[in-house]
Structures are given as structure tokens and as C-alpha cells.
Structure 1
């Protein structure tokens, strides 16, 4: 039985395509994800070039599926699907598909009939497709008739199909994480972050909402992406691993950041940032406009004074990571321990940071570096590894980092 889709027919240069929509149920039935071994022959055979990178199942299940299931206004951009006959030969009109134009629209609008023996390859949108399939499995009654826009392309040759895949993926330029967060109005963590950006004086007007890193002369002290990531770590410590499912957080979906309800969560984060900022005296100079943020990062060339590690993304995230470990294991008296860690460290760029937060004279923002830096804070502050599993994990990260440069 053929699948029938209302479509608009189009053409860009030499590429024909159809624009339409498919139900989630149809996506589940007709779309084969790139990891499916049936695609091996199309993309060169098993052991040769794979159809695409492996699916990030964690991202699908923990981020995209909840987005679909929990958001009444969820929306996906169009999937790009290539129609591929099961035989692997070029798509043939009249056998594999028929386009039935609607009278009066110059053969542009009509019904696309696709034989059910034809498979659909998601040249762009494999994670969205996987999320649709999983969301349908979890809540079929609600999701079956939901629709997603699609761009449908005909299969001509293996080389052409691979070129479509390359074009769609190489030319895609997602916006920066910070810009994405600045437009986000649903995620409670982002909503709380926007409140913190107003309530914490150091952050007010000094958070970059455009890029994932700070330009050399940027007047900002942190990017929004870094601040959100820090809050994710801290909220997990405050509310547990499933913090997004906590009533305090769930109640903030699509709430204005200025709403009084946001303060029930933001006040707990603000308390942590107040301890951090008050125990790094240089931030007070920023608040009094006595120094430019770039000087804290890069130092003063005229005097040869180096910059400070705390002023970089790795510094912010490491501090949040160390604070989270202390909050988790000392929920009632973490502030004194955190203050001691912050003041015990020599934050100036120098050899003490080599292999931890710096490689040579360059600050190196990596996941292992963040954990090693957090471990360094705890160690310098006299917090032993015996203080809890998270503290021990950060001590271990520091040891591994140091061993890598001094085997």
C-alpha cells in the first residue's frame, strides 16, 4: 500500500525535491536511521564508510525526547529524507513513486504517492527522527498523529546520496550555545540563569549572550553558555541528579525570569555566587570599574603582570564543580569550606597551573581540565578525598592530570 503525502514540488538548480509533512507514526514506519545495517551497501559496505556518526542516544533520550513529550509548543525544523528503493537502484517514477498534480497549480502542488517498498534515509535530522520514534513508543496515543515538516529528495546514485548528506551537514552552521540560550523561554535552568544575570551585580550587564567564548577585548566576565553549564552542575548538587523533574524547577517552565516564583531557586544559586565573588577580590575591582575584564584574563602587558585563571571559562566551571561537591556532601556548612578553597589558591597564571588548567602559557578549557582544576581547589583548600565520592573523584582527576605531565 502506497503512502500518500500532500506536497509542493520544487527544484534548486539540478536538484528536485518535494515539501510536505509526515506524521510521527509514518516516520516510525518508513524512516530507517543511518545506524541501521541496511544502509551499509548504500554507503560503501560494512567495514567501509558508515552512513553517519553513531546516534548519541543519551542526547536523544535525556534532551530531545523530553522536549517533545513535555512541551505543548515543541517544534522541529524539517527533516531531509531521501527516498531509496529497497533494490538500491535509482528511484523510478511510476514504479517507486507517482506525483499526482492538483489541477490549477501548474503541476507544483499535488499528492506524492510512495510505494511502501521504498525506504527513507534521514540525510539531515537523524537525532530528531530517533526522538520522534522513541516519543511515539512512549506515548503513542498522543504522538501518533503529530506531524513534522519534511523535505523529500529522490535517490539517484550512491555518490549523489552521499553528496546530499555532505551538503546538508557540512553547510549547517548552528547558532552559538549562548545565542540559543538567550532566546530560550522554556528551560527552567535558563530561566533561572536569566534571573541570576540580573540579581548578581557582577553578572548584570556583563554576560555575553552572543558567543561561546569571550573575545580578547570583551567587557563581559562570562558567557551565557558557561553560566548555564555552571548552574546545571550546581542544581544537580542542590536538588539531585533528576533536578529537572523536581517540582521547584518544573514549575518554572515558560515563567518570566522576573516572576517571584523563580527566586525560590535562584536565591540558592545567588548565595553560592556571592560566596565565590566575595572571596576573589579582583571581582570587586570590576564592580568599581577600576579594571577591565580583559586585564583579569590577559594581564597587563606594560607591567608584565599575568592574568588570572578564575576569569576564564575553565575557572568559572571548575569553581562551580568544586562548589557542587562541597554542597552535596556538606549541605549545611559548605560556604566556609568554599571560601577557604578560593582564597588558598594562587589564581595568577603560572607554572602551578601547568597540566591542570594551562598548557604552556595558554589556558586550556577542557572537560578533564575543569575537573582537575576543581580538584586543585579542593586540595589547596585542605578538603581531603575522604570527604565524599564527588570530592574523591575530583582529587583523582587532579592526580591523573599531574601524572600525565610527570609520568
Structure 2
């Protein structure tokens, strides 16, 4: 019995769509309101999917939701941006019975164009939607709707709707969508970003600080051995988050001086006022690591600072890696948070006291064997080591906490 024969057009979800096919896979392109996403999309961690995925304890079709990312990054993006946009969600239409999707009983496509491709898709309300791609976006939509129902309810997101065939096909769709997709690097994303105030300030710093001018990699998340750049844009943005939190407090993203920078030109004087505070920190850092001056004067290459030069008997320096930059920013932030009027003098002293050459003294701190270990714990341990080497930490506070957290072999 067809949907219209059961008078279900009124009860069903009705979506204007374009019908398409890639090889043997049929799909429909359309859009759904945030309200419909909240009502019909069940996130992969929902136990209702156990039978569809192969039974509880069986093979799962999706990774667990990264709730912190949804709450702290994606939801604020939706709530705070007038021009937020999501790429399409790929949703599998799954009958509540777990049986293959059937035309007539579960859905019906009513063409309205001569070629039969444009039309209306009617979906029975008993059909659930599984996000084969976009579960974090779907979760953010649902959460944003809870927080601001009036504004979010009518908003729409593009969707690709695919029929559920069987468990194996569902898993294969998930694999195809996630394994074959290659997201751009964080640095490229930042390079194209024009809304985020921290990124806007970073772009200003890339012009105002001589060492960074034309030496910031905007294409990748890490530097190749032969790269002439000194830092990636992703690393620089993360360092600025660390420093701005120290300068403005834990709610720095909500400070008017920061929020006012959304979508304005990096050359604007308001950006310059914030950038100046960061520039003060970088000037202390660069002035007290003499090798950066050698690089700017063409006497040494960025590659040599990272990898060393066998002919000269040098091994390279920890400060020249992403870990080094973020550890220095973390140490500087601790000094600033402790409200030291002389933070710049203390930072300069610590930077000059450290032996930055790669070697055994960094084992368990910034290095594992001969490799610089760019991890969160490594960054924190290195920051503590920098401060301890400068004779700081006995007085407690943020500095003391960092020093105390450093590994014993850093003492």
C-alpha cells in the first residue's frame, strides 16, 4: 500500500529533493530544518541502533561522539555566527524495524520535473535517520536548538539521504564517507578564516613580527624538514589562545575587546591594540633566543635550527619546533597569570638559561629518543623545565604548578 493510499502524505516528512545516482547508489539531495534533525536523527551512540549495527556488543558503525568538541567549538559557532554554514550531512534512512527501506511503505518519491529528477520525497515518520557522516554537526544542531529554540528551529542544513539496504551496506557507506574524505589541515582552515578574532589577530601578528613575516606555514599542520618556515599557522593560533587567556582571563573569548574583532580586517587599529600585547611577548622571546636573529640575517636556515648541521656538529634546537613555541607560550602565560610586573625580565632570564640544543637532557621532557615529542604532556613538561631552569617555581602560583608538574629528570 502506497503512502498516499494510507493518507500518510500529511503525517510523513515532506522534503523537496533532487534525485541522483553514483554508480549503483541512489540518493536524494535536499535540506532539513534543525527541528527535523532533532526529531528524526538518532546519533550513532544511541542504543536504538544496536540491532541495526549487529546487536549489542557487536561491530559498531561509528566512533563515539567527542562531546567536548561539540559543546565548546561547534555549538558556539552556530549560536554566535550570523553566517554559520555546515556542509551536508549524509543520512541513512533506516526503518524502525531494521528492514531494508521499501518504496511505498517507508517512503515515496513524487517527481515534479519532466526528467523525473526533481520532486518531493515523502518519508514515513517511523523511519529514523543515521548520520553516516556528520554526527558531530548533527549533535551540535540538536544542542543549539535546545539553547535557542526560537532562532534555531527554522534554520536548515543540507542533507544527502541514502536508503538503508542492510548492515553491511550501512557500514560500507560509513567507511566510504570517512576514509575517503580528507579534511584540510588546520593551518589551511585558519588561512581562509575571516570570522574568528584569534585568527584575525594572528594574521596581524604574522605581519607585525619580523620573524613571522613570510615565514609562517599556512598549508600544513607540521613543518617538513626542509621547510624555510619557522612555525605553522595552527601552532601560532594555539599559542595565541594560551597567551590571550593569560592576558584577559579564562573568559577571554567573551571580552569585548576580543569579540569586537569578528570579521574585521587584520589591518584595523582595533586588531592592532590586541596584537600589540602579543607582540610584546614575541619580542621578548625572539630577542632572547639569539639563533632567531641569525636566521633573520641569513646566517642560518630554519631547517638547520630544527635538524642541525652535521658539518658544523650541531644537532638542532628544541625551541624551533611546534612544541618549543607552545611550551614557551605556556611558560610566558604562567608568568603573566602570576601578575608579575617583571614577567618579561623573568621570561628573558629563563629563555637564556636553557640549553636548547637537542640532546639527552631533554629525554622525558621534550624528546623521546632523538625525536621531539610534540604532545600536550610534552609541552607542559617543557614549560615547567624552562621555568625551573631559570630558578623559578618555589613561590607557588601558576609558575610553581608548572614546575612541580615537570618530570623528575627535569629537575
TM-score (norm 2): 0.95
- Give the whole-Å Cα distance in 1 for the aligned partners of 2:21 and 2:102: 17
Structure 2 residue aligned with 1:145: 154
C-alpha contact (below 8 Å) 1:89/1:157 kept by paired residues: yes
- Distance change (3 Å), C-alpha of 1:103 and 1:263: closer
Write out aligned runs for 1:292-371 (5 A). 292-371=301-380
Q: What's the CA shift for 1:402?
A: 5.9
Structure 2 residue aligned with 1:48: 58
Residues matched between the structures, number: 401
Deviations 1:169-210 (A, max 9, x none): 111100011000000000000000000000000001110001
Q: What's the CA shift for 1:90?
A: 0.4
C-alpha contact (below 8 Å) 2:40/2:128 kept by paired residues: yes
- Give the whole-Å Cα distance in 1 for the aligned partners of 2:13 and 2:110: 13
Q: Which SS does the other structure have where 1:40 is aligned?
A: helix
C-alpha contact (below 8 Å) 1:329/1:387 kept by paired residues: no
Q: What's the CA shift for 1:386?
A: 3.2
Q: What's the CA shift for 1:399?
A: 2.2
- Give the whole-Å Cα distance in 2 for the aligned partners of 1:15 and 1:386: 66
- Give the whole-Å Cα distance in 1 for the aligned partners of 2:409 and 2:176: 39
Structure 2 residue aligned with 1:223: 232
Aligned alpha-carbon RMSD (Å): 1.3
Structure 2 residue aligned with 1:86: 96
Alignment of 1:22 onto 2:37:
no
Q: What's the CA shift for 1:64?
A: 0.6
- Give the whole-Å Cα distance in 2 for the aligned partners of 1:92 and 1:401: 65
- Distance change (3 Å), C-alpha of 1:199 and 1:91: same
Contiguous gaps of at least 5 residues in structure 2: 1-10
- Give the whole-Å Cα distance in 1 for the aligned partners of 2:143 and 2:19: 30
Q: Which SS does the other structure have where 1:234 is aligned?
A: helix
Q: What's the CA shift for 1:331?
A: 4.4
1:102 to 107, 112, 128: 112
C-alpha contact (below 8 Å) 1:7/1:110 kept by paired residues: yes
Q: Which SS does the other structure have where 1:42 is aligned?
A: helix
Q: Which SS does the other structure have where 2:122 is aligned?
A: strand
Structure 1 residue aligned with 2:384: 375
C-alpha contact (below 8 Å) 1:39/1:51 kept by paired residues: no
- Give the whole-Å Cα distance in 1 for the aligned partners of 2:348 and 2:17: 62
Structure 1 residue aligned with 2:6: none
Q: What's the CA shift for 1:385?
A: 4.6
Deviations 1:93-141 (A, max 9, x none): 000000001042x110100000000000000000000111111111111
1:397 to 389, 394, 405: 405
- Give the whole-Å Cα distance in 2 for the aligned partners of 1:147 and 1:364: 43
- Give the whole-Å Cα distance in 2 for the aligned partners of 1:400 and 1:260: 46
C-alpha contact (below 8 Å) 1:35/1:51 kept by paired residues: no
C-alpha contact (below 8 Å) 2:393/2:401 kept by paired residues: no
TM-score (norm 1): 0.96
- Give the whole-Å Cα distance in 1 for the aligned partners of 2:292 and 2:113: 70
C-alpha contact (below 8 Å) 1:372/1:401 kept by paired residues: no
Q: What's the CA shift for 1:280?
A: 0.4
2:82 to 69, 72, 89: 72
Q: Which SS does the other structure have where 2:177 is aligned?
A: helix
Write out aligned runs for 1:114-153 (5 A). 114-153=123-162
Contiguous gaps of at least 5 residues in structure 1: none
C-alpha contact (below 8 Å) 2:392/2:400 kept by paired residues: no
